[in-house]
Amino acid sequence: MAIIHPQILVINTGSTSTKLALYEAESEKYKVTINHNPEELLNLNDFEHQIEFRREKIMNFLNHYHISLNKIDLFMCRGGLVRPVESGVYQVNERMIKDLKNAPKKHASNLAAVLGYNLSPVKTNVYIADPVVVDEMQKIARYSGHKNFERKSIFHALNHKAVARSFAAEQNKNYEDLNLIIVHLGGGISVGAHKKGKVVDVNQALDGEGPFSPERSGTLPTGDLLKEAFSGKYTLREMEKMLVGQGGIVSYLGTNDMKALEQSKEAYVQEVIQAMTYQISKYIGEMAVVLRGKIDAIILTGGLAHSQKITEQIKSYVEFLAPVYIFPGEDEMKALAYNGNLVWHKFLIPKEY
């Protein structure tokens, strides 16, 4: 009997782009990144306008390649800021749609599942996988130092989990049998302690903890931050931008173009880059303590893992802890298609949200 390969539409919504791809099982047939003019997005005042705007872009993609919605077997969507969940694939339902539309934090990732749900003729064929709010943190890791503030798990879960499983497969081992430290190096940076298949500790990479990155300030001196916040010089929105978007490398050097900065001959530019890799390495050290030094591998992934300079600087600090492996890039589209294929062939049972 011939194996039927599912047609999987992958939808990944970002702040200034919509990434779309059609897969036949895990084989990519068509892929496009639609970049949106920031000024155009400013005119979209609410969630529904964003949905309408991006739905039109998706339909243009489908029509261009003569793809019928009725021929799509699965819609795999980037997971947004839903309630904290365990790792896995979740079927999109009305409860999830409501939470995405009313999420306390506005983020483009909240749009993908709503778009897939609106487009699919069969509502039970729409899924998300490993959203950024995957929460497997051990209880003791949730303490921050004040009862009013609990540490939260918000990180690049989809890429972390996909890379962890790829590494395990390459080693002919099970992810659930390994202790790994995985570092996602991108516009934001997350450092996670993976203990036997669970991310038991990780920095809150969305808006306020961890090493500084190309665009984010990471953990700042608390007293100084409070003084700035109450100085009267900044609005809440301006302070948020200071932490995310205009922090990190951008705040020091005025750009997030890491390729150009790496080639700079200026000593200060190189010092700032090394300061970032120094901080990343310190957080890897923290996660080594979480795993009590029992580490099978340290894995560097994400877009910045393409940079030999950055990865070599980090290796120079941490390779005494465990072997360091490089998995450059963050192929979220492929990871979503991979999870969809597992669901289609019933190798993976989706969870209920």
From start to end of the chain, where are the E strands? 7-13, 17-24, 27-35, 74-77, 89-91, 126-129, 143-146, 149-150, 179-185, 189-195, 198-202, 297-302, 324-328, 351-352
In angstroms, rounded to a whole number, what is the distance separating the alpha carbons of residues 108 and 116? 14
Q: What is the pLDDT of residue 2?
A: 53
- pLDDT at residue 327 above 80? yes
Q: pLDDT for 289-304, tens place per residue? A: 999 999 999 999 998 9
In angstroms, rounded to a whole number, what is the distance separating the alpha carbons of residues 87 and 195? 13
Question: Which residues partner with 302 through β-bridges?
Answer: 328, 329
- End-to-end distance of the chain based on CA atoms, in angstroms? 34
Q: What is the pLDDT of residue 108?
A: 83
Pick from 266, 82, 242: nearest CA to 157? 82
Pick from 134, 33, 121: nearest CA to 83? 134
Q: pLDDT for 188-205, tens place per residue? A: 899 999 999 999 999 998
Q: What is the pLDDT of residue 324?
A: 98
Pick from 130, 155, 199, 172: nearest CA to 343? 130
Q: Which two tokens stand for residue 110?
A: 């909240």
Pick from 236, 277, 17: nearest CA to 285? 277
Categorize the per-residue pLDDT at 3 as very low, low, confident or very high, splitting at 50, 70 and 90: low
In angstroms, rounded to a whole number, what is the distance separating the alpha carbons of residues 131 and 153? 11
In angstroms, rounded to a whole number, what is the distance separating the alpha carbons of residues 278 and 343? 40
Categorize the per-residue pLDDT at 5 as very low, low, confident or very high, splitting at 50, 70 and 90: confident
DSSP, collapsed to helix, strand or coil, labels residue 329 as strand
Q: What is the pLDDT of residue 182?
A: 98
Q: What is the pLDDT of residue 142?
A: 97
Categorize the per-residue pLDDT at 265 as very low, low, confident or very high, splitting at 50, 70 and 90: very high
Categorize the per-residue pLDDT at 15 as very low, low, confident or very high, splitting at 50, 70 and 90: confident
- pLDDT at residue 185 above 70? yes
Pick from 247, 316, 246: nearest CA to 277? 316
| Average confidence (pLDDT) over 120-143 | 95
Q: pLDDT for 24-81, tens place per residue? A: 988 999 999 888 876 676 666 678 888 999 999 999 999 999 999 999 999 999 999 9
In angstroms, rounded to a whole number, what is the distance separating the alpha carbons of residues 16 and 234? 25
In Å, what is the CA distance from 145 to each residue of 138, 150, 309? 16, 8, 36
Pick from 155, 71, 168, 177: nearest CA to 119? 71
Query: Are the C-beta atoms of residues 156 and 185 closer than 8 Å to each other?
Result: no
Q: What is the pLDDT of residue 48?
A: 86
| Average confidence (pLDDT) over 125-133 | 94
- pLDDT at residue 233 above 80? yes
Q: What is the pLDDT of residue 38?
A: 65
Who contacts 141 (Cβ-Cβ below 8 Å, separation ≥6)? 151, 200, 201, 290
Residues written for the chain: 353
Q: What is the pLDDT of residue 284?
A: 98
DSSP, collapsed to helix, strand or coil, labels residue 198 as strand
**Mean pLDDT, rounded, of the chain:** 92
Q: What is the pLDDT of residue 193?
A: 98
In angstroms, rounded to a whole number, what is the distance separating the alpha carbons of residues 219 and 203? 10
Q: What is the pLDDT of residue 4?
A: 74
Q: What domains appear along the chain, each with residue ranges and CATH number? A: 7-135+332-352 (3.30.420.40), 157-328 (3.30.420.40)
**Reported pTM:** 0.88
| Average confidence (pLDDT) over 249-257 | 92
Q: What is the pLDDT of residue 119?
A: 95
Quickly count: other Cβ atoms within 10 Å of residue 39's Cβ.
7
